Structure 1
Amino acid sequence: MTKLRYGLLGAGMMGQEHMSNLRLLDEVELVAFLDTDEGMANRAQVIEPLAVRAHNLDDLLAQNLDALIVATPNFQHADQLLALSEQPNLAILCEKPICTQIGDVKRLAETFEGRAAPLWVGMEYRFMPAMQAFLGKCAGVGAKHLLSIREHRYPFLKKVNDWNRFNRFSGGTFIEKCCHFFDLMRLILDQDPVRVFATGGQACNHLDEHYSQGTPDILDHGLVIVEFDGGARATLDLCMFAEGAKFEQDISLTGDEARLDVHIPGPHPRQSESPAQINLYPRRSTAVHEIIELPSEIKAAGAHQGATYYAHQAFARTVKSGAPVEVTLRDGLLAVLMGMAAQASIQKGQAISIDAVNLEVHDS
């Protein structure tokens, strides 16, 4: 069997998770990677000893690649994608968020419009087995009216050069962390956002940290309300100093016939032994409960409940057979716009409108 040849741009914490999961796929081999941080590059080489350590992007692209994974810091994604647009036959999987600045949204949309090779946005939460099971049961609630997403988790981890401590590098917490959940809102409800109101702050995390770039300004908690064009409403409850909770994510979809819940553990030691749970609560019949187990090998390969592994399975199918991209550039851009609207709403204290057709945000 001829294997797909992958390259990796950015071999930090998330890049190494990609590497570990690619090792579980028979149809893929990671042939080369590039990272400018010596420590991260050395760790990556341990994971994949036979992979070429490229010296620059040209060197990486010269390795006869079928696909490239972009897992660099957030603020680098847009410029790197624009540079990679000159490789029309290269399949690309870019980690979320696809960009961090409003000016890059339309630049990316225009540059990649009509591109034949796949551009896949790495919002892997769609592919968690528990989330896939949840999505398969959503029709059971009837007409969808209310969606609630709660993530109560641990603080941001330490990254190279502390880039994730600052809004100007990460895009802000509601872009960096929450674009996953804004993507899930659109996916679950099958509607586009029209208005966002949010409130949030920095209460506990990183307050006593000081770096050459300044004092961290990222938010550690917040509440977001999103209105959608089909009349549904969704809420996001984020707290990043709540790692003691049994589950990291709790999602509840309520329709006119039933409520459907999914509870997903995180990688924190207090949570990792609890399997995911799905509960369906019909209005007029008996509740149904289900436990979602995750194979131990897949669980050990990352910190996202198998999401990275199953996302790579789907991406490889697209690269190999031309199957449709399941997480499109538009999906990635709208998730970022929703995060930008939330950040702006917190800053301005007012609702922010989203034009999903023209990919714009503006004051309501």
Structure 2
Amino acid sequence: MSVQTEIDFADPPAVSPARTPRLGFLGLGWIGQNRLKSLLDAQACEVAVVADPSPAVHERVAQLAPRAASAGSLDELLAHALDGVVIATPSALHAQQALRLLERGFAVFCQKPLARTAAETQAMVDAARRADRLLACDFSYRHTEAMQRVRQAVSDGEIGPVHAVDLVFHNTWGPDKSWARDMALAGGGCAIDLGTHLVDLALWVLGFPAVRQVSSRLYAQGRLLAPGASEVEDYAVAQIDLDGGATVRLACSWNFSGGRDAIIEAAFHGARAGVALRNQDGSFYDFRAERYDGNRSTLLAAPPDDWGGRAIVEWARRLAAGAGYDPAIERAVPVARVLDQIYGR
């Protein structure tokens, strides 16, 4: 998909700034409905319109937001007066949909990956900056209590300078949508699906140091794929060498035989100690944070922790407060560049 970079910004339909943000929702699969419910539970928005091609989806969403208007497409959604739009559609659509919304003056909250490539990601960031609209990506694992404690320990210097980071996300299951296994539509396989979170966490915790070099190997059902292959990988390993000497090792997979539903870890090794986020009992949702001193471990955070909707609720509340463009979204570009290098693009 070619991404337009020159945009004429039109005024959006008039919306009163004195009330809870009126939001549209574009794409309402499992994750879209989950984020919508988080916003409703937090009373952080008015669900004004939902857009999805599936009648069954509209029936389910009507139980959560009975007053919301229904739309079958982005064009229909654009006819409504809105403050912002939540995008939870296939990855191939993120850039073109976000560009249209931003050029109309709507704020955007988008599921990860923000786009399939660094070029698409940069185009979205540029459009948000030029429109002065709040653009955010659902980097949801940043908002777990466990990850917050890990970052604090690193940034406060508790473990000393970090020289190594180990990142793991093995998923016993895999996506059940055909588009997710199509390189053209998804931009990749498990590395862009799961690895996007891991790369973001490593760079975010370390303060986004420059990336010096990336090497990787991608596999599909045990077969090593050539760089730039059109086949989607289900197992990926990568080494990311950072400015300053730290090395990040990443491994992620779909349909992995790991004896549990998931293995999720982000471990930071410092000169004096280590600190890590780890999922508990194979859960996709329950995380612990621990500090390691030699053979001793100290618990820093543990479940329960209702973290899934924190990123989108924060975005909605900032939108309600009148926030415009936030330069923090620019950090999505180096994450996307690392993914490009993992894929040999």
The verdict on a shared fold, with TM-score over 0.5 as the criterion, is yes
Counterpart contact for 1:96–1:332, Cα < 8 Å: no
* Identity fraction in percent: 22
CA distance 1:336–1:42, change in 2 (3 Å): farther
Counterpart contact for 1:7–1:30, Cα < 8 Å: yes
For the pair 1:234 / 2:251, whether they are aligned, the reply is no
- Give me the CA root mean square deviation: 2.7
In structure 1, the residue matched to 2:152 is 136
Q: Mean alpha-carbon deviation: is it higher for 237-246 or for 22-31? A: 237-246
For the pair 1:69 / 2:86, whether they are aligned, the reply is yes
AA at the equivalent of 2:176: K
In structure 1, the residue matched to 2:203 is 186
In structure 2, the residue matched to 1:281 is 292
Deviations 1:105-152 (A, max 9, x none): 443344333432211122212112221222222231111211111112
Match of 2:219 among 201, 207, 212: 201
AA at the equivalent of 2:219: G
CA distance 1:322–1:294, change in 2 (3 Å): farther
AA at the equivalent of 1:15: G
In structure 2, the residue matched to 1:33 is 50
* TM-score (structure 2 length as normaliser): 0.82
Counterpart contact for 1:123–1:327, Cα < 8 Å: no
Q: Which consecutive residues of structure 1, in runs of 5 or more, have no partner in the other structure?
A: 206-215, 299-305, 345-360
Q: Distance in 1 between matches of 2:222 and 2:23?
A: 40
Q: Distance in 2 between matches of 1:143 and 1:181?
A: 20
* TM-score (structure 1 length as normaliser): 0.78
Q: How does 1:287-306 map to 2 (within 5 A)?
A: 287-295=297-305, 298=306, 306=307
Q: How does 1:89-238 map to 2 (within 5 A)?
A: 90-101=106-117, 103-138=119-154, 139=156, 140-159=158-177, 162-173=178-189, 174-190=191-207, 191-203=209-221, 217-238=231-252
AA at the equivalent of 1:184: L
Q: Distance in 2 between matches of 1:87 and 1:293?
A: 41
In structure 2, the residue matched to 1:348 is none
Deviations 1:303-345 (A, max 9, x none): xxx23x111232123212256877843222222221121111x
Q: Distance in 1 between matches of 2:126 and 2:253?
A: 35
Q: Distance in 1 between matches of 2:138 and 2:81?
A: 22
In structure 2, the residue matched to 1:210 is none
AA at the equivalent of 2:290: N
Counterpart contact for 2:118–2:333, Cα < 8 Å: no
Q: Distance in 2 between matches of 1:242 and 1:324?
A: 45
Q: Distance in 1 between matches of 2:118 and 2:287?
A: 36
In structure 1, the residue matched to 2:312 is 312
Q: Which consecutive residues of structure 2, in runs of 5 or more, have no partner in the other structure?
A: 1-17, 224-229
For the pair 1:23 / 2:40, whether they are aligned, the reply is yes
Counterpart contact for 1:246–1:274, Cα < 8 Å: no
CA distance 1:54–1:243, change in 2 (3 Å): farther
Q: How many residues align?
A: 317
